[in-house]
Structure 1
Amino acid sequence: MKPASSRLALLALAATLLTTACAPGIIHHNTYYTDTSRPARYQDTRIRFLVMHYTEIDEKQSLDVLTQEQVSAHYVVSDHPEEKHGEPIIWQLVPESQRAWHAGISFWQGTTELNAASIGIENVNLGPIDGPQGRTWQPYPPQQVDALIRLAKDIVTRYDIPPTRVVGHSDIAPQRKIDPGPVFPWKQLYDAGVGAWPDESTVTKELAGREPHAPADVRALQQKLARYGYEVATDGVLDDRTRRVFAAFQMHFRPADYSGNPDAQTDAIAQALLDKYVPNATPEPAPAAP
């Protein structure tokens, strides 16, 4: 039997350790403790963007690819989601605290490589379907849109993601991506409180009587889209790279015509979005096309 003094010393040590481990802000990490009682005032969340995609393949293939190959997403929304207690079940493949490999080489509002700063949602959808009558696009079924709205609204609320940072893959990588496509329900998401959309009255005012498809100044439109967030040269040259940026913007905000032509209606929509969301923002510098 240990001497009384030794037993008292051990009890005192145990009490000290117990008190320390249970003290507010003290966290034990096996071989060390951290004290979190003095949080820094200046900090924010890693997650600043929400990026939408379509899979181009069916659900089974999508889950196989996104869990086994060198590409991933935080969530997959089925085109026929099952329900539990009347609510949709959504696949989560990557914890929100972890980086998913969904954006690739990307740019938005001055941020590059959006994988590190975003949550990616893949929607099961075949995208473009080319047939004898030309190209069509698979629609997003109502039950899928409902599930997506529930998920997206929860994410933007929890992370306080601004409307202009809810984007498509084609917005952040217009030179190589066209998803989530022209039939993606951007307006429905906006009506539910997710993402940006121009006010029709402001678009009409900005048109100022111009014919919607009248030519617009290329440089002015480039500057507006750069200010909104796109990576686009502002040199006034209507080359293929600029056309792809114009087409991505039109696919998002004017899906009835995404030819990439710089016209008065596209210019008016861009200005209406700036008036609504970034009236005092300084244009982000974007590298000129090589």
Structure 2
Amino acid sequence: MTTDLHRRPLGTSAASDGKRPEAPHDGGARSGAVGIRDVVRWWPLVVLTTLAAVVASVVALGPRAPSYSSTARMPVTPLAQSDETFLGTSLVRDAGDANRTSSTLARLLDSHRVALETAQSLGGNWTPGSVRSAVDVTVGETNMIEITARAADPDQAVRLARTFAQTALNDRWQTISAQLDRRIAFATRNTAADPNAGEESRRLQLLTFVRESGADPTLSIDSIGPAVRVKEMPAAVMIGMAAVGGMFLGVLGAVGIERVRRRAQNDDVAPAGREPDGSAPETIGK
């Protein structure tokens, strides 16, 4: 007598009722989530990066020389928006917003040309790059430009602030004076053509007065502040920040290494856990 058993794929049982058995669940190993215990496993890496950051910050700090700053205050007196006498010149004109007017002017003053001329006036080791890195041109109070200069010597800080501010004024006046000359020539021709042109004559007188004054009426130097020592962040705070940053980098490195390790393990386990091919049924005959 021959008994034919049901054809079943190898590795299955009747109790499974033909259903594929579920693969074992490997919790976090396959999920990709990295927990605190996984990071603690790589504690030497975290410690080393933290120590490296602390040592680097200590070396960078070293013996710090004191730094001083001096501020030149430059008030802005903008022309009215409706002014027509100084049309075509670079004199400061009201933009409708005091902050916007001062901000635009501050960007114009903080130029490479002014830094170059300042470095030439100071002499020594000053360069346009060192001048620009040591000087900040900012907006202070309403209609006020502040030029803050920093140096290792208090007298040098005051000299740098004064020189930069005066150089900026001189640079602007070179452009403005040439523009005023053109405006004066134009107004002179109009006045000569019409001697009764009272408004044009008044403009000519005002243009001539400003040109002969030799100074920008819309921008000037109000004061040069005495040098004050710059307050620096305490060394302990900077070292503490470096330690936190190093620890953070160490934790990121540990997480990255752990994820790579898990991915490699999963790639190795996948072929071993693959389901056998059941396309060739096993038949038992008797």
TM-score by length of 1: 0.27
More helix by share: 2
**Higher CA-based Rg:** 2
More strand by share: 1
Higher relative contact order (CA 8 A, sep 6+): 2
